[in-house]
Amino acid sequence: MAERRVNIGWAEGLHARPASIFVRAAMAAGVPVTIAKADGGPVNAASMLAVLSLGAKGGEEVVLASAAEGADAALDRLAKGLDELPETV
β-pairing, 61-66 with 2-7?
Answer: antiparallel
Provide the 10 A C-beta neighbour count for residue 16: 11
Active site residues: 15
User: Residue 26: which of 60, 54, 40, 59 has the closest Cα?
Assistant: 54
The beta strands (E) that lie in 1-89 are given as 2-7, 34-37, 43-44, 61-66
